[in-house]
Every structure is written in C-alpha cells, then in structure tokens.
Amino acid sequence: MKPGSSRGLGMRLVVVFSLIATLCALAFGYYVSQARQHVGADYTALVTDVVRAQQDPAALRMGLDSMIDHSDRMHLEQVHDVLWRIPRRIESVKRQLRGSELVPASYEQLFEELSYVESRLPALETAVDRVPEEGLDEADGEAILALGMEIEEGLAWAYSELNEQLHQASAEQRVLMGRLTLAVALLLLMLLLAVGAVMLMLLRLHRQRETMRLQSRTDELTSLSNRRWLRETAEQAFEWRRRHGTPLSLMLLDLDHFKRINDDFGHPLGDAVLVTFSRTLERHVRRVDTVARMGGEEFAILMPDSDLAGAEALAGRILRATRAMPLPGPAAHRRLTVSIGVVEVGDEMGFDRLYSRADQLLYRAKESGRDRVVTERDQVSAAPDTDGADRHDGMGITQQPWAGGS
C-alpha cells in the first residue's frame, strides 16, 4: 500500500465534508433569514389595517360631536367620510382574516360584532343626512349620538379583541418558528453526522482493503514482498522488457546453516536475524528493485534494467555486508553467510523458467561450499581463502576467489 493512499483519500473526504457542511450552513442561514421575514410579514398587513381601523371609532365620535355642535357642511362631510371608510375597513379586515392562519372559531364572534356594526351604519347615515342646516334639537342630537356611540363601542371592542389575538398569534408563531428552526438545525446536524459517519466508514473500509491488500503481498515477519507479489511484479517487468528491450535479472539468496541458529538459540532469535538480514538487503538495493522473502531463510531480488554484471556487483556487496552483519544477543559471536544464484533473462517468456534457472544456480552455490555467488558463466565466486588458493566444486569447475564489482 502506498503511504499516501489512505491519506489522499482522507484529504478528499475532508474536502467533500467541508463543502457539504458549508452548503448546510448557507442553507440554514438562508432558512433562518427567510423564516424571520415571513414570521414578521405574516400579520404585518393585517395588524396595520387593524391599527388604522382602531382610529375610526374615535374619528366617528369626534365628527358626531362637532356636527351636533356645528351642523355645517364641513362637519357633515367629515362624518360622511368616516361612515364611508368604516365598512371598507371592515371588509378589508374580514378578507385578511379569512386568508390568515388564525382558526375561524377564534374570530367568529368578532365577525358577528362587525357585521352588526355594518347593519347599524345605514341608520346613522340616514340620520346624518337629515340633519338640518340650522342645527339639531336636543332630542335628535342625543339620538344620533347614542347610535354613533353604539357603533363606536362595537368597533372599538372588535378591533381591540382582534389586535390582542393578532399579537398572541404572532407570539405563538415566533415560538413555533423557533422550535422549527431548532428542528431544522438538528436535522442538518444529524445529516452532517450521517455524512461524516459514511465518509469515516468509507475511509476505514479503504484502509482495511489496503491493509488486506498489503498483507496479501507482504511477508508478515520481515515486511518484505512475498512470493505472490514478486510474481506479479515479475510479470510487469517481463512486459516492460518485451516493449523496451531492457535487461532484467533475478537473484536468489539462502542463508547458510540458518537451521543451526534456530536450533542453538531458538526461533525468536532466528526471526530477529531474518529481520536484520532483510533490512541489510533493503539498504543495498535500488528503489526499482523488488526484495522478497520466498519462505524460511530464502530471499529473492528482482532487478529491472540490470544486466548480469550489475547483478553480480550487487551480489558481491550483499556477500560482504552479510559477513559483517552483527547478530543479536547470544548469537553475537556467530558469523552469518549467504549463498546466491544470479541469472539474467534470456529467451524465456515467464517468471517460472527464470526462477528455476536461478534456483539451480543457488543449489550449485550451496553444493560448492556456500558463502558465494554462482552465475551461468559456470564460475563460482566465493570469499577469498586466507592463502589465496583456488578451490574446486567437486564438479570439475574451478572456483576463483570473488572478483566481482564492489
């Protein structure tokens, strides 16, 4: 698994979650602003008409008093103007009440009172029309004033009750909108939490999948590639070689007498030696090379763009590094060596054939005394003897001291 794979997915999920959270915040802000405007606007027009209508009873009383004292044309026109305005105000208020959110039962009695007032207006208008220019006598004036007060009191009571109901309804609506706003906020928060949970689950699933993928191609003890991943990598390397004609080499390595370490010091210390040897291999290879543990104490290195000479040079460095590698704990006095077989891809078209050739050379290195590199040049390169003498492998092939590159 690439180190940045889960981190990159996590960053993308964070960006997506941030965008969703921003959109939710903007939507909630827009909803709150619109809700406040609607709460304020629902009853604004109706309250305005009621406030204006509440002025009509006072205006009627003032006009009637002035008309009774001075029954001239100006005062008569003032009274007629109020009497003309009152039924229109009543009709406007009734129309808005029917279109409001108020329950009809709450204003039914008000409708009856306003309807009664409307029914009394024609009588008052007739009485006003009959007022002589020379003025009213006391009896007629009291009759008109009594009728006017009846209308005034009906209007004042109806509009006062209606105004109180509107303020109460507006307050209840504000409370309702506050609760609704809280509910919307909670829903958005739950949505964000759900989205976050889904994204977190996706990230965990991705990490689990990558972990399983890593485990399926990684050796558990050494964290090197395993046999399966080496084979997949080799197939890609073969395809690259076929396209571009570049060299490709394979190295098989087997630690010498490793069983003795397990027998003498136990498997935990043997495992520690394998891990140390794995880190040694990783320090000496290139980034393009693939180091794999094939099983037990056997390892492999696949080397793209490397011919046999380059692979031999790397094998020589690994030989020397293995001899110099300190062993842990009670095995510190021991010296570890490794046998190596190296091949370069020839005419074969698959990994199995290449691996078989390398395995034969590794076996030959083991049979020839270990601690050496064997290639298909039929020459076994080993560590120099202290006396510099040549050695024989028992197969009729002269084994020269190691003379590969550094």
Q: Exposed, middle or buried by CB within 10 Å (0-12, 13-18, 19+), for 341?
A: buried
Cβ neighbors of 401 (< 8 A, separation 6 or more) are 381, 382, 383, 384, 385, 388, 390
297 is an active site residue: yes
Q: How far apart are CA 335 and CA 261, in angstroms?
A: 10
Q: C-alpha distances in angstroms, 76 versus 63, 80, 84, 128?
A: 8, 6, 12, 7
Give CA angle at 253 (248, 259), nearest 5°: 165
In the numeric block, the tokens 């550094």 are attached to: 406
From 77, 112, 125, 297, the catalytic residue: 297
Q: C-alpha distances in angstroms, 59 versus 24, 52, 68, 84?
A: 53, 11, 14, 12
User: Which amino acid is located at 330 in the chain?
Assistant: P
Inter-residue contact 298 to 253 (CB < 8 Å): yes
Inter-residue contact 384 to 404 (CB < 8 Å): no
Closest CA to 380 of 360, 359, 365: 365
- Please provide residue 217's backbone torsions phi and psi, each rounded to the nearest 5 degrees: -125, 15
Percent composition of the chain: helix, strand, coil (DSSP 3-state, to 5): 70, 10, 20
Q: Helix, strand or coil for residue 401?
A: strand
Inter-residue contact 63 to 76 (CB < 8 Å): no
Which residues are designated catalytic? 297
